[in-house]
Copies of this chain bind each other. A is one copy, B any other.
Amino acid sequence: MTKEFFKVTDLNKVLEYRRIFSKVTAEDVDISETAGRILAEDIISDTDLPDFMRATMDGYAISASSSYGATEANPGWLTIKGAISMGEIPSFRIGPGESARIATGGMLPQGADSVMMIEHTETVGANNYSPQHIEIYKSIAPGQHVIEIGEDFRKGEMLLCCGQRIRAQETGLLAAFGKQNVLVYQKPEIAIISTGDEVVPIDHTPGFGKIRDINTYTLAGLVKQAGGIPHFYGIIPDVYDAMKQTCRQAVEASDMVLISGGSSVGVRDLTIDVLASLPNAEILVHGISISPGKPTILAKVGNCAVWGLPGHVVSAMVVFSVVVKPFIEHISGLAVSREVKIPAILTRNIASVHGRTDYVRVRLSEKNGKLYAEPILGKSGLINTMVKADGLVEIDMNTEGLYQGAEVWVIPV
């Protein structure tokens, strides 16, 4: 009667197909433009950081041994040998019983190994403007209130790895080592094609029976969040030749193609036929054991992953989050993801079907010091359920549901 999903593929099996797609190429980028990008080279330290002993407090650079035994009742007495200007190499040496005025960030003179905080000293001597001595009220240990040579990073140390995502602190680290430019992976170019004779452009007023093109804009937003560059190919009619021509153009110009719409069996069959007819095409997946999102197609056309996503916007979003995003991350070179799922407590029972992985939309809220995940029920054609949602909870294919009070992991959406 109709072709159906005889061979639905397990989610993990689908995710394994990532590896057959190669990464995008790398480009040299100024570090002020690297926020969120994926590093395409290892960065090795070419120097100790810092390469001199720095004060972390305002006070007096001393040899700690000069302070031993000093207390409020029995203060120590040190000569002020001079003051250290910021950014300069001290011109003198500190001996026992000597000290030098130093500010936070300043370089300790030879002979000094610690900083006595200004709060624990009192100047004495000639006058307040040019004191010659200090009383110290505390004993400190070597290394106190200083950053030692190489304490942040040692010369030759691996600073950052190829495949790591660059956050603000990684950019700061690159700056510390003088890397004005670094190699990062290019952002993958991702084509978005909408299908469906019932879909109209968003600036049209849809008549009865028609609906505006929600999926193109939703998917474009998701692509950006995942670090890709979306390219709009518009709405193509459910016609073999038109679909084939657009798909071929998209495949040639892109690192990945997302075809959305066509949840009806006829259109899915059409999509499969079109994809199979492209040069160097192989249909890898025709149905995934997840819900929502089962009617998903994955083809490899050359080195381009081409997805046939469900037409229902919620299904398309779920498939994107759980399946497409890991593929985008893979071709973007991401090797070390620090992204975490959020633990929360389920507020009600949810039923599920054995043998498929279910994704339930949830809204997060804090109450009495705990984080709760409230399931949002509703059909996968309703975008309001995703607008209310903060994340998705996965229900494993080997369970038949989750109970109220269960500890769950929430995938942010």
Contacts and interface: CB of A to CB of B under 8 A. Distances in A.
Interface of A: 1-2, 31-32, 34-35, 50-52, 54, 56, 58, 85-90, 103-107, 118, 123, 128, 147, 151-153, 160, 166-180, 196-199, 202-205, 207-222, 224-225, 230, 232, 238, 263-267, 311-313, 317, 338, 340-344, 364, 366, 369-371, 379-384, 386-387, 389-390, 407, 413
A232 B32 contact: yes
A168 B52 contact: no
Contact of A218 (B160, B172, B238): B172
A52 B216 contact: no
B208 A89 contact: yes
Q: How many copies does the complex hold?
A: 2
Contacts of A232: 32
B212 A105 contact: no
Contact of A86 (B197, B208, B340, B364): B197
Contacts of A51: 208
Contacts of A54: 211, 381
Contacts of A169: 218, 221, 313, 317, 383, 386-387, 389, 413
A166 B205 CA distance: 23
Nearest to A199: B87
A281 to B, nearest CB: 25
A222 B213 CA distance: 34
Given A32-B230, A56-B381, A152-B381, 20 more contacts: A2-B58, A31-B202, A35-B221, A35-B224, A87-B210, A103-B265, A103-B267, A151-B379, A168-B317, A171-B218, A171-B221, A172-B214, A172-B313, A175-B212, A175-B218, A176-B214, A178-B202, A180-B202, A340-B366, A343-B370
A103 B153 contact: no
